[in-house]
């Protein structure tokens, strides 16, 4: 078996027993990226030289018998919305094309302390706003299972690189399903931890009350390994939970006895693709064969989740992205061209417009910098959020959305008094074709139908493969758990993966 076909847990064991070196493993993945990524386009940057140098240092330290970190020698990819000191962090946007943070994000610090090899930065929807990785300013990412299909988003690059065996582990972010949806579309395991479980320090914000960093991996066992490194209190993030981190990797293989799974009656019905529904129902039968009990429950306010999510998320995006004005942060328009156009307008009499009516130079620079620096989807959400926050509309939209958010959280609290976890679909459909929904934002937004409520409620949730469509495309199962119950969620996922082999399948035809 080729090295890239092994799981992260298996690779770590080989590294620790010196069956392979960190340099050999890193070279193997770099060669895989060189062969495959020209078609998948999962990476925005590949840090080949620094990865090999770091690998060589780890090999020397291991040879000398020094103590090493938890992930010593294991390559990890990072979503390009997470700051890395001195390297480019672009958010897949022209606005931040040349941004080089002066510091590392908290999760990057933790990965370095664990002696992981940071192999590169992965593609995403611009500023993490999207469900297809098509809104990237550089290029869309393709699904490794079918290069004509989307990989999901916004963490599509991270999911695609793990599915295509270009990295054993990847770090993504989830604001309304942005880890779970691409994990489902790419046939891997992805987890959104509880809000506050992983520090957001150094994460470039989309929606601050919804964003959460989490792992993308082949298996629940691998996800547990990565989460154990990423999680933990950070005083620089005021929302960070000051709680101990369980030993996820040590307990993940322990089956759960007396498990009760809730199935939301509103989730298995109208709007759900028949193949997705059949795969989810079969997964529930597998759990029943393992001793779990399945109980029907209701989340009555879930039907408002999409509207609530897009109001709150867009309002917070409008606020967070206001800083990118061409003066304080981000791309600045070509000022000589701007001045020349203004002079030409004055000379021509502005075509009937009085020169005194023209925007002042500073205002025009702001306006043009943002118009040129942001893509269409980002503009759409910023405008929606700005409108919802404006005078006369705040109470009708943003305040009302916050109240509905509380009702959604109450539904989950009541449900978890009856069941241990909630099981259901991740997405309404299998992966669709590139370009199929990019001109229909509403249809694309409905892809978050089953995922956004977990972000609104701040709970933990996980996606994993549970079958394939008739076209050979991955289908996903979602598990949702109470706040801070990542350990229970990972154990339940691993329990399913011991009884099935969907997570062991891999895309063909890339080599």
> How far is the C-alpha of 424 from the C-alpha of 265, rounded, in Å?
10
Angle between helices 274-289 and 486-499 (to 10 degrees): 90
Buried b / exposed e along 414-448 (16+ C-beta atoms within 10 A):
ebbeebbbbbbbbbbbbbbebebbbeebeebbbbb
End-to-end, the C-alpha distance of the chain in Å comes to 15
**DSSP letter at 396?**
I
Q: Which runs of E-coded beta strand occur in 293-349?
A: 293-297
Burial of 396 per CB tally in 10 Å (0-12, 13-18, 19+): exposed
Contact between 236 and 200 under an 8 Å Cβ cutoff? The reply is no
> How far is the C-alpha of 259 from the C-alpha of 274, rounded, in Å?
27
Q: Which runs of E-coded beta strand occur in 16-116?
A: 43-46, 75-79
Angle between helices 220-230 and 106-113 (to 10 degrees): 110
Length of the chain counted residue by residue: 511
Q: What are the φ/ψ torsions at residue 330 (nearest 5 degrees)?
A: 85, -175
The pair of structure tokens assigned to 263 is 């199935």
> How far is the C-alpha of 155 from the C-alpha of 352, rounded, in Å?
48
* DSSP SS3 for 80: coil
Count of CB atoms situated within 10 Å of the CB of 373: 23
Enzyme catalytic residues: 79, 154, 178
| Bridge-based pairing state of the strands 212-217 and 260-264 | unpaired
Contact between 441 and 199 under an 8 Å Cβ cutoff? The reply is no
* Gyration radius from the chain CA atoms: 23
Alpha carbon 141 to chain centroid, angstroms: 14
């Amino acid at each position: 078996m080729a090295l890239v076909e092994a799981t992260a847990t298996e690779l770590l064991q080989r590294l620790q027993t010196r069956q392979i070196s960190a340099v050999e493993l890193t070279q193997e993945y770099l060669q895989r990226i060189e062969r495959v990524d020209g078609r998948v386009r999962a990476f925005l940057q590949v840090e080949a030289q620094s990865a090999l140098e770091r690998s060589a240092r780890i090999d020397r330290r291991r040879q000398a018998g020094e103590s090493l970190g938890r992930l010593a020698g294991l390559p990890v990819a990072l979503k390009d919305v997470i700051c890395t000191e001195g390297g480019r962090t672009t958010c897949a946007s022209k606005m931040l094309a040349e941004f080089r943070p002066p510091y590392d994000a908290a999760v990057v610090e933790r990965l370095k302390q664990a002696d992981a090899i940071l192999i590169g930065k992965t593609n995403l929807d611009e500023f993490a706003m999207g469900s297809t990785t098509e809104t990237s300013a550089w290029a869309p990412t393709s699904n490794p299972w079918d290069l004509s299909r989307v990989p999901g988003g916004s963490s599509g690059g991270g999911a695609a690189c793990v599915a295509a065996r270009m990295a054993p582990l990847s770090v993504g972010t989830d604001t309304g399903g942005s880890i779970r949806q691409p994990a489902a579309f790419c046939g891997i395991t992805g987890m959104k931890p509880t809000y506050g479980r992983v520090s957001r320090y150094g994460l470039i914000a989309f929606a601050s009350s919804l964003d959460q960093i989490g792992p993308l991996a082949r298996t629940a066992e691998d996800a547990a390994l990565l989460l154990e490194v990423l999680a933990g209190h950070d005083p620089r993030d005021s929302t960070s939970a000051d709680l101990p981190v369980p030993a996820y990797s040590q307990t993940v293989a322990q089956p759960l006895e007396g498990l009760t799974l809730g199935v939301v009656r509103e989730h298995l019905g109208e709007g759900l693709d028949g193949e997705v529904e059949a795969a989810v129902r079969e997964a529930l039968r597998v759990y029943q064969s393992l001793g779990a009990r399945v109980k029907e429950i209701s989340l009555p306010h879930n039907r408002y989740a999409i509207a609530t999510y897009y109001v709150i998320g867009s309002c917070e995006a409008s606020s967070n992205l206001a800083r990118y004005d061409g003066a304080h942060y981000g791309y600045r328009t070509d000022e000589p061209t701007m001045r020349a156009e203004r002079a030409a307008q004055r000379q021509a009499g502005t075509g009937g417009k009085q020169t005194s009516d023209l925007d002042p130079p500073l205002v025009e620079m702001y306006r043009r910098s943002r118009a040129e620096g942001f893509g269409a989807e980002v503009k759409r959400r910023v405008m929606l959020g700005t409108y919802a926050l404006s005078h006369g509309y705040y109470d009708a939209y943003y305040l009302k959305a916050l109240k509905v958010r509380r009702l959604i959280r109450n539904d989950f609290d009541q449900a978890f008094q009856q069941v241990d976890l909630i099981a259901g679909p991740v997405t309404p459909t299998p992966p669709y074709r590139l370009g199929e929904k990019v001109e229909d934002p509403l249809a694309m937004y409905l892809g978050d139908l089953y995922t956004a409520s977990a972000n609104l409620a701040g709970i933990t949730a996980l996606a994993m493969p549970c079958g394939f469509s008739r076209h050979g495309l991955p289908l996903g199962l979602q598990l949702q758990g109470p706040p801070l119950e990542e350990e229970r969620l990972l154990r339940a996922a691993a329990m399913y993966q011991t009884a099935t082999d969907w997570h062991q399948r891999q895309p063909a035809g890339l080599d």
